[in-house]
Amino acid sequence: SSELTQDPAVSVALGQTVRISCQGDRLRMYYASWYQQKPGQAPLLVIYGQNRRPSGIPDRFSGSDSGNTASLTITGAQAEDEADYYCSSRDSSGDLYVFGPGTKVTVL
C-alpha cells in the first residue's frame, strides 16, 4: 500500500515558527488531518480539511496543502507544543486510512 512520509524530528526555539511536512500521492486527492500526541496520552486532532481547527485548538496551529505535500505550521511555538505529530489521510482506494510515521517536535 502507498505511504505518507514525515521528517522524524524537528526542533524549534520557544516562540518561533516550525513547519512539519507530510508527503504522499494520496494527498493530491484527500486533505490530510493532523494529530498531536504527548507521552502517555491519546492523540488529539489539531487540523483537518482545508486548514480547519477543532474547537479549543489554538490558532497558532495552521495547515496548508500543495500538490502531494501537506504541512502543519506552529506559529509562535510554546513549550506545551512539544509532542509527536502525525498526519493521516485516506488511502488511494478511498476505503482505508493511513498514518504518517510521525514527527517529534522539540521546543528549545
Q: Which residue's CB is nearer to other proteins, number 17 or number 52?
A: 52
Stretch that binds other proteins, among 14-22, 36-44, 59-67, 74-82 (CB under 8 A): 36-44
The Cβ-side half-sphere exposure at 73, using a 13 Å CA radius, reads: 13
Q: Which residue's CB is nearer to other proteins, number 15 or number 54?
A: 54
Per DSSP, the three-state class of 107 is strand
Rule CB under 8 A: is residue 88 a binding residue for other proteins? yes
Rounded Cα distance, 87 and 73, in Å: 12
Rule CB under 8 A: is residue 44 a binding residue for other proteins? yes
Rounded Cα distance, 11 and 29, in Å: 30
Contact in structure between 76 and 16 (CB atoms under 8 Å): yes
Distances (CA, A) of 41 to 14, 26, 84: 23, 28, 11
Q: Which residue's CB is nearer to other proteins, number 76 or number 101?
A: 101
Single out the residue of 37, 51, 68, 69 in contact with other proteins (rule: CB under 8 A): 37
Given the rule CB under 8 A, which residues bind other proteins?
1, 30-31, 33, 35, 37, 42-45, 48-50, 52, 54, 84, 86, 88-90, 95-102
